[in-house]
Amino acid sequence: MKKRNIAEIVLVIIFAGFVFFLGWTQFKVGSDKCGILVSKTGGVNSEPVLPGKFSWHWEFLIPTNAELRLFGLTPYTETKTVQGTLPSADVYSAVYESHPDFSYSFDFSISGKVAPADIAELVKNGDISDSDGLKSYLDSAYTSLANKAAVFILDKAAAAGSSFRPESLKPDDILNGIETARAWPYIVFTDFSITSSKLPDRTLYNSARDTYIEEQKRLQERAVERKKKVSELLQQFPELQDLFPGNN
């Protein structure tokens, strides 16, 4: 009888250990990663599974009910290039025989990451579903950030004049200026820097623009004056109407 009781106890212990092992999720998560539990019975669990922190989930006791999706926690770094020209650059450049270049170019190095709890929120919202989705999410944000940063720098350059240098701006000034915390609330930007930049000559651009606008104004005034004179001529000589069909 005692042997039978011992055997039963051993079986209970083995079964309990097996059940415990099925639901134990912590050991499945390596360093610099987090796990997000997704199950058919409960959906996305908002509590991320972290290495070094005990976690056990009953959802794994049901076959094919749950999965643990792993996401990296190390910062994701990319270089983004933004190139373009100032408005009507080709038109204004033609004012000068030298055809000055009014293009700009910026290279940004951007690093960022998403906190484990926010990763769970992104999965729950359907913004991402796996590790590759998280990288795509960050990459898309970096592209948008780079474009906004380029506009911010160009505005600063326009206000400061030809002596302005993009590298004189502090990274935090740029990030705060384009309100990254509001635009991307789930992303912590760990590094942002301008690795290279090229700005057009704003003074020359403004001069070319003003010259072009003034010339267009003169041409418009001449056209108005010419039309006025033709109208006066046709009033005196109606028989010439066919020679000026545009004044009918």
Specify if 238 maps to a domain: no
Same-domain check for residues 62 and 107:
no
**Residue 123 lies in domain:** 76-204
pTM of the predicted protein model: 0.79
Amino acid 122: pLDDT = 97
Residue with the bigger pLDDT between 236 and 112: it is 112
What is the C-alpha separation between 176 and 180, in angstroms, rounded? Answer: 6
**Residue 199 — pLDDT band, cuts 50, 70, 90?**
very high
Amino acid 67: pLDDT = 87
Measuring CA to CA, which residue among 128, 130, 170 is closest to residue 149?
170
Same-domain check for residues 111 and 166:
yes
pLDDT tens readout for residues 20-74: 444 455 556 778 899 898 988 888 988 898 887 767 666 767 788 888 899 999 9
Specify if 62 maps to a domain: yes
pLDDT tens readout for residues 138-188: 999 999 999 999 999 999 988 887 778 888 899 999 999 999 999 999 999
Same-domain check for residues 20 and 39:
yes
Residue with the bigger pLDDT between 105 and 241: it is 105
Amino acid 218: pLDDT = 83
Question: Is the pLDDT reported for residue 1 higher than 60?
Answer: no
Q: How many domains does the chain have?
A: 2
Amino acid 162: pLDDT = 73
Question: Is the pLDDT reported for residue 248 higher than 60?
Answer: no
Specify if 48 maps to a domain: yes
Same-domain check for residues 53 and 95:
no
pLDDT tens readout for residues 77-96: 999 999 999 999 888 888 88
Same-domain check for residues 50 and 100:
no
Same-domain check for residues 110 and 193:
yes
Amino acid 247: pLDDT = 58
Q: Which two tokens stand for residue 233?
A: 């001529």
pLDDT tens readout for residues 204-214: 988 888 888 88
Specify if 7 maps to a domain: yes
Backbone angle region of 66, left / alpha / beta, with phi > 0 → left and psi within -120 to 50 → alpha: beta
Final residue of a domain: which of 45, 71, 97? 71
Amino acid 65: pLDDT = 86
77, containing H or E segment: strand 76-85
Specify if 97 maps to a domain: yes
What letter does residue 28 receive in the DSSP assignment?
G
Q: Which two tokens stand for residue 226?
A: 């010419």
- On whether the CB atoms of residues 75 and 113 are closer than 8 A, the answer is yes
**Residue 231 — pLDDT band, cuts 50, 70, 90?**
confident
* Burial classification of residue 19, based on how many CB atoms lie within 10 Å of its CB (0-12 exposed, 13-18 middle, 19 or more buried): middle
Same-domain check for residues 63 and 146:
no
Same-domain check for residues 24 and 84:
no
Same-domain check for residues 57 and 87:
no
Question: Is the pLDDT reported for residue 232 higher than 50?
Answer: yes
